[in-house]
Structure 1
């Protein structure tokens, strides 16, 4: 069988000749110009060739890294890595090749697992994993895929005989080019769990021990939450946040999705990145938990306490403070937070003496929130799919001006769109009981009304 190095050399020559043939820009063209002139099909064909050459190169790297790994095993006269002044064989391989420690570790692991085995008399034994060895040497398999297969076979080996193990090796090697590395990882896990069902429980318990969360203050009003969790809690978190991170393109007045460019409305567009949407969704889940928390602390209902000057609350200009958080927030943010019953604003005078601890008639009652949920069905912003449980009951006209908290002056907005409504100076007009959003001039110079999304309207008359 042709060695991987010779196959790699042959493919490299063929690749260079192929690129020369495809070169439309002349002998003086740069490699970037040549690549830019290829058709889509030609580009993908070249990538496939390079992918196979990459696999062959990594197979050679793994082969020789495996030799270095075997010669660096403890118990020998003088391990190779130690002689080179390195703390590990991966460090030595990384230094020699310029590769990252992660890549070098992978080469060493695969190479050591496939290294030549000898009897006590020095005779060479057959490879333990002939299919993986063959696929790597042919460039059909990358080192990462090879490592996944070898790790899975090692986990299954104590519970299977040789024939069963070889059958699974052939299956995984055959599936690897089809399913890719991500699919192969799931496939390997599934096979291991079939052989050892109890291992799932053991793995879960091991993962729970590693569960942890930290909060770091980064300065300048920024905080970092670090949450390392297991599959169970990740599934719960994913189920809770996914519905809140899938924005729908705003369309017609009935709130249905619109895919055509003609119906796309820039003024209503959600311009957040996926990371920002996930952040806001997690915040919405926390906010909903706070609003519905049944517990108490030292006999007092679980409550987020805000402090702000009276003028800041009235005008919306200034700052407020959340008890226990050093960084201040804007007065506008405090007013939005005060829409929830479990958030209590403490209005202070100039001497920081409490003047008022909330106002009962400022908040929408539970019955009013149910009515708003039935009427609006969730966030009334066109194109938003946030459910009522993740919405604020917002005042259409500011409560400070009207002192009016009723269904005619109420509308459901998710926290993101509530913030947009306040900060971007949107207005609402009601026409025959139906609210329409009026955009600010900087978003739409015509200030054309957009009908709010309401999934359940009262019948006319």
Structure 2
């Protein structure tokens, strides 16, 4: 299926995305299965010639059911650094050991094979890439980062003065925060400073914005909680504090506080309609997708080129991947009771059952 281009025929980016919907695998699992299949299967060329698999010895043993999928992945990994004639040795070792041991065996074998080779000449080191990972753990965002020398020095220079211990005062006494706590508070203060800058990038035509949604009556009475677009909750008291330095945009669902329909005048969605979509969809509306609103585009349910109007009643938030999927595949989206529902292609769902994204449901 991978080699004949089945994914493109169905409107998908790659075969792993097809398997994700067809058999409900995680994307990582689907990619592993495709990679293993490519390594183990023969190929027929356009002229009819038969090409052996990349790992012919492994393929034969797998056909007998003697190796697990994890073993196949590790054998393929270590064979990238080894000549083809030692595959039998690696497979024989894999038949008696767990995958982690096979990886160690492969490294040792590569060392023994190449230990007498001349040392590679030194080359100009590549510029280190900046890395950042963010993950919610409960109600806290965990951040891990690696920055190159220049970016790291800039960040340290900005955080350092904000992280100094507070001066001791009779009222508060000495600053008892640990260094990690002081630097964490400094990082949070730095975020506030950046948020007040006037040269931030935009999302969907508006400056970078944190959207919190709650009833006005609850906000005034300091009860309940506001909802972030990440589905986290912020207590009403903290919401009122944020509102002291933030703009408040009232959104009346089903009301007419703002113009939510601009007809055929333009294809692009103005900020007012996008705010409505953020409030209603809370992220990518495609079933099972967790992408937040800042990663989404506004999509015309009835395409603008086909006469569709630019309005909140004819729009849905979709991440870039699912936006492309809707345009190129057999997936369809329609509005039912003022909410978007999706219908899969016939090959995936012969019953054509409408689906909603329950992850973002109110």
Does the TM-score normalized on the shorter chain lie above 0.5? no
TM-score, with length taken from structure 1: 0.30
TM-score, with length taken from structure 2: 0.36
Q: Which has the higher helix share?
A: 1
From the CA coordinates, give the structure whose radius of gyration is larger. 1
